[in-house]
Structure 1
Amino acid sequence: MRGIDRQELLFHTLHNQYLLEKGRRLDVVSGLCGLQAQFANNPRYALRIRARDFSEEAWSGGLLKIWSHRSTIHVIREDELGLFLSAKGHNLAWGESWWDIPVKVKPYWAAFIREKVAGGIDEREALKRECRRAGMEEGLLKQVFHGWGGLIKEMADRGLIAYRPGTEKRFFLPEEPAWMERDEARLVLMRRYFERFGPATEADCAAFTGYGMAEVRRLLRRGCLSLRSVDRGGVPHFYVGRLHAARSLPGCIYLSGFDQMVMGYKDRSRFMDMEDKSFAVNRAGIVYPGILLYGRLCARWKKEPGRLSITPFRPLSPASRELATEGGRALFGDERLEIAFLEPCRP
């Protein structure tokens, strides 16, 4: 097993993450195992950064939003709904859940909600009004539309309903998922992981998928993923395909909030100095949109109409500030965009 240095590891990672060469929009979503979407604009930014066929008007075409791996909201391809739901391994029969919704009423209200969505009532608040009008008690209404999921999540996990991507909370009825055996689906996603996030460790894969180390190792023993490996600090890092010859890195790369580049690894040292972790991820686990300068995560950003605010982790040189400025204007295609550098997190 040959060794790999940080520069080569980082170059290969950025290349596979579509950050050095852009890909087709649907290929990006598929290759990165979806795009995390707790904040609705993050997938849009991730595709603006990575997709050569991105457009503001059509970026969400062919996509939907569900609870996916790690039970977090992701935007995925509509035609891969069965893959992602199968990988979760949910029982399709209604059962007990921690939402405290009586099992006997779930089929009725699920059918009622689907009927209303099919009839064009697709907004969350409008559906709540319809349920209340139909006699749903306030306590049950709160649980059905619980902020962390409720009956809506249980319906989504069964392929009965899905969110549309974007900032509005709208639902639609997806096509019947093409169900797979759970291990088969997980192996498909794990192969994509090592192809697009590799070289990565078993622990990285477990952290990203949420499957757990024992599960990852069991699936790797079972599957024929054609993995190769390199050594990094005495730890094997696995990948699918080939390693790209390392070249010089771009001076500036923008990342979205909850970017798959950041979410993809337990050990983020390939692109982040660990003393800066609290500047990139807050105590509530919110992962800020970030900026890589010379291959290191050095700042976070926030976009507002006509303005881009940049908060460096520590003071930036004039050359670095210019790189971040040019990168932001290029990303948003606006030479007149106001760039504001805020006080560094650390003097």
Structure 2
Amino acid sequence: MKPPMIILDEPTANLDPVATEAFVSLLETLKEERHLSLFIIEHDLDPWVSMTDRVLMLGRDGRIFYDGPLREGLQEHAGNLKHQGVAMPMVSELALQAGVAEPPFPLTIDELRRRNPVLEGKQRVRKDEIPLLRAENVSWKSVLKDVNVTISNGSFTAVVGPNGSGKTTLCRLLAGIISPSAGKVEHPFGKKEQFRHVGYVFQNPEHQFLTDSVWEEVSYSGANRKQVQQMLEWCGLSKHVHMHPFRLSQGQKRRLSVATMLVNDQDVLFLDEPTFGQDAASTEHLMNLIEEKHRSGTTIVMITHDMELVDTYATRAIAMKEGEVAFTGVPEELWEEDVEAFHLKRPLRAQIEEAAYVPQ
């Protein structure tokens, strides 16, 4: 159609890291070749830093509180951005954490590396691994092929890989939502009791809504009034208790779908892209709640394209590729693999450490 401007509303939210990079690169090429103006609505600034010449920062009250170059905006409002729901680029966030964010704010890995930041990875406590869920020689139609994988009791497992690699299918099989075409899935729960012990947050929130109001959705599982009120306050939906779930915004639907599972005390919780469509503050609060569940003994299995979340929270990682399990292990071991083969990008901390390493 050859328009002079394209407006994109969170265009990379459901893409894996390599697909995101390719998409942004394509837009950058089109911008130069066709002299396009791009207007991008986004929670995640990282993919867009190199091509952004102006940012409009919107506060929770719907007002623009900054209009200008990105670097100056970060410098001026760094202390207030997370409260407003605006995520800083990860390079800038790490600079703040490492205490090397003096002006000018770093926006690239090279700029940050030259400041010699001290970055600490997650301290993962080694525990005895007691199998809780196990897939043995499992296949499902043409999607999964002869998969063998174990989820240990009390682990926080991240399932990663390219779009269409079988991540969601694997988790639905492990959760007992679908049955394998071949092989078997083992778990310690009786068939009738299984869904009292296993919770599942679907990738598409609408797929799990069962009632006609937000309040009924959270209370459906039998949670008491106080629990429902607390959960609705957390997810910012206490003013929408009578609204039909389908009338919520995409981000609100996602928070409601997670809330319906977090309000219960299942032994295992599966989450398919739980932070999709969330602003910085909501993402942090959501992940803190999930981490709290994990510390209390809940086994967490999370599908995500966000490697920063994997690096920060996961104790184990499973990488899928073309319907097969291509890697299992701790995240640090995954970062040493050829991650681009899984359509992944190493988290920024690992990239900086790699860039700083000079072979002897």
- Structure 2 length as normaliser, TM-score? 0.25
- Structure 1 length as normaliser, TM-score? 0.25
More strand, by proportion: 2
